[in-house]
Amino acid sequence: MTGGQPPLLEATDLAKRFTIPRGVFGGSSRVLPALRGVSFSVGRGETLGLVGESGSGKTTAGRIVARLVAADAGRVSFDGGDWLALSGAELRRRRRDVQIVFQDPQASLNPRVRIGDQLAEPLRVQRLFAGPAVAGRVRQLLSDVGLAPEAADRFPSELSGGQRQRVAIARALATGPRLVVCDEPVSALDASIAAQIVNLLLDLRERAGLSYLFISHDLAVVTRVADRLSVLYLGAIVEEGPAASIARRPLHPYTAALVGAATGLGPESGPPAGPLPGEPPSPIDPPSGCAFHPRCRIARPRCAREAPPLVEVERGRRVACFYPGEVG
């Protein structure tokens, strides 16, 4: 939150389960809990980073916020109103306030439609511009993301990966959103292009006063962009706090491993924890107690019996660990 104002977006106790149908050889369907009571907030003009390994639930949380996936339980407040209760014409109108940038622009852009027409579509659907003003707005959007006006006449296949992602960002900005969900927006790009896109997102945030929900598995990238971090493991938040503080001194062993694996980051309290052993357990059959304990270097017997609550251990820092700071 900024300036003592209430947050722009506040998610409370979000839960989501997916049903996996039985296979071709029979067997019963199974339930995969993707989110287990996740809460977070995004202040006005702030960037919150959701970080975690694949399967942590971060993308599901982002898609619930973008109204692409329905939550099974929980609440999302946007600018003081019940965001998940919107439906019909009101939801269509308010979608302009929350937009999303996907990981792969190759998949999110229509290969058969010229770039200019793809940028014009949300303008017409939302009835924001009409007639010649549409073309003018398209040119402005292209300029805002560092592309020449001639890009409007091209198809996605005629652009590089970085240029396509710039188009995807321009399309997200077309309706004048207040919050943009960035779902792994640079993970499909090489390092130099990814750095340019990150710089563009930072510049747009300052110029347009945007708020971001920035989702990534790469803690080095998200730390550069985010003001605060929420670290997810197996559908639950295990650590949250200011991004710079977490990068300097992670308090949860899982966060410490992410910091240790991130290029250019390293905790100040000793050497990095190193790569995590093994793979994340299946969310269909999670471990007892603390879900992280089978991979944790400091786990004690208590960790297998009890699930640690997410509690404040320092000002602005909350951790779900019985032994915070003993990162291994």
Does 2 have pLDDT greater than 60?
no
- The amino acid at residue 61 is A
Range among 24-38, 259-273, 305-319 with highest mean pLDDT value: 305-319
Tokens 């992602």 locate to: 165
Any idea which of 22-26, 86-90, 252-256 has the lowest mean pLDDT? Answer: 22-26
pLDDT tens-digit series, residues 152-182: 999 999 999 999 999 999 999 999 999 999 9
pLDDT of 253: 95
Residues 326, 298: contact at Cβ < 8 Å?
yes
Instruction: Give the other-Cβ count within 10 Å of 126's Cβ.
Output: 15
Give the C-alpha separation, 138 to 144, whole Å: 10
Residue 232: its H or E element: strand 228-233
10 Å CB burial of residue 156 (0-12, 13-18, 19+) is buried
pLDDT of 113: 96
Quote helix, strand, coil % in the chain, to nearest 5: 35, 25, 40
| Burial state string for 136-151 with b = 16 or more CB within 10 A and e = fewer than 16 | ebbbebbebbbbeeeb
Mean pLDDT, residues 300-327: 96
Which residue, 155, 136, 157, 159, is CA-closest to 147? 159
Does 26 have pLDDT greater than 70?
no
Share of residues in the chain with pLDDT > 70 (%): 92
Does 25 have pLDDT greater than 70?
no
Mean pLDDT, residues 6-12: 97
pLDDT of 263: 59
Mean pLDDT, residues 232-255: 96
Residues 42, 66: contact at Cβ < 8 Å?
no
pLDDT band for 3, please (50, 70, 90 cuts): low
Does 24 have pLDDT greater than 70?
no
The residue with greater pLDDT, 54 or 85, is 85
pLDDT band for 269, please (50, 70, 90 cuts): very low
Domain ranges for the chain, please list them: 227-328
The alpha carbon dihedral of 267, 241, 60, 117 has a sign of negative
The CA dihedral of 72, 182, 204, 111, to the nearest 10 degrees, is: -120
Which residue, 253, 248, 283, is CA-closest to 269? 248
Any idea which of 22-26, 172-176, 253-257 has the lowest mean pLDDT? Answer: 22-26
pLDDT tens-digit series, residues 189-235: 899 999 999 999 999 999 999 999 999 999 989 999 999 999 999 99
Mean pLDDT, residues 24-33: 76
The alpha carbon dihedral of 94, 79, 225, 74 has a sign of negative
Does 270 have pLDDT greater than 80?
no
pLDDT tens-digit series, residues 62-89: 999 999 999 999 999 999 999 999 999 9
| Burial state string for 235-245 with b = 16 or more CB within 10 A and e = fewer than 16 | bbbbbbbebeb
